[in-house]
Amino acid sequence: MGKTFEKCIGARQAQGPPRERGRYRRSGPGASRQGGLLACAAVALALLSPVAACADPELHLWLGYDGRLLVKVLDIEVDVRADRNGYTAEAQLTSSGVLALVKHIHQVASSQGRIEAGEPRPGQFETQNLGGKTHRRIHTSWSQGQVVMTATPPFDDLGDPPASLQQKLAAADPLTQLMRLTLGGSREKSCGRSYLFFDGKQLYALDFGPAGDAVATAREQKLGLEGAFQCDVRYREVAGFKKKPANRRNQGLQHPITLRFGRLGASGPLLITSLSAETPLGRASIDLERVRESGPPSIW
């Protein structure tokens, strides 16, 4: 990521470890079957521009999620740093348990961008599938009204239809969208709207329904989360996918995804606490199990 970025990360590490809530275990992120659970992971993660913004970080979050399909099958880690000017985010997804015996899943992603008027803006996004045959690395850049993607090795095609420039500019990478929910989210702002995601090739929408009341679970209370609420989410392919009938553009998710939120303390960041959906293989869930944080409760 460059020497300057490495120095920035080194400076952060020298500040000491962040505070920990819940169980701690370094693991990684993953996906279950190519259909529903992978789509669910994209939501939880779904999840390099102005390096200078990293020099004096004010907020550091490390989140650990477990993906389950009857039993645990995925490990997901998200590492976020932000101040008033910019942010960096990294995510890792790996198969676990029984799934790891039959399918190796290992995907990493990183994103960095500016924060303007309190909203994260996409800058540089990179993802690589380390569990596939090609180990393809995809780098996407948003700059000066253009969105440029390079892939190594290159794609044979970019979908039918491919994403247009207007669609790419209206979207953001998955980690930037996660940052928008985390840093500026609220019950009033997060639900009842649609989000467009672009990963360098595929562009999809998550349509959030209205916010509904939710009772905090014992797991959420243990993590120090407050103000629980939830909303139903519909996954919708938009561009960059193989051509298919409209009723099959949902990655096998025939029913809405249920997404739960909670705030870390009275004025801290808003976190996705769980995601659950009916998939072709049964009920799948991705649950927040581990939280570490440092810095002030809010950077705004």
Domain-wise residue ranges, the chain? 3-294
Q: How confident is the model at residue 44 (pLDDT cuts 50, 70, 90)?
A: low
Task: Write down the residue that tokens 């870390």 correspond to.
Answer: 264
| Range from 11-15, 129-133, 288-292 that averages highest in pLDDT | 288-292
Question: Rounded to an integer, what distance in angstroms lies between the CA atom of residue 135 and that of residue 133?
Answer: 6
**pLDDT for position 278:** 86
Burial degree of 226 (CB within 10 A; 0-12, 13-18, 19+)? middle
**Strand, helix or coil for residue 63:** strand
pLDDT at residue 251 above 60?
Answer: yes
Reported as type and span, the H/E element at residue 7 is: helix 3-13
Query: Chain-centre distance of CA 261, in angstroms?
Result: 14
Whether residue 215 has pLDDT greater than 80: yes
Mean pLDDT, rounded, of the chain: 82
The pLDDT tens digits for 3-42 are 333 334 344 444 444 555 554 333 333 333 445 555 555 5
pLDDT tier, 112 (very low <50, low <70, confident <90, very high otherwise) = very high
- Alpha-carbon Rg of the chain, whole angstroms? 18
| C-alpha span between 181 and 293 (Å, rounded) | 17
pTM: 0.79
Mean pLDDT of 72-89: 93
Average pLDDT, stretch 111-133? Answer: 93
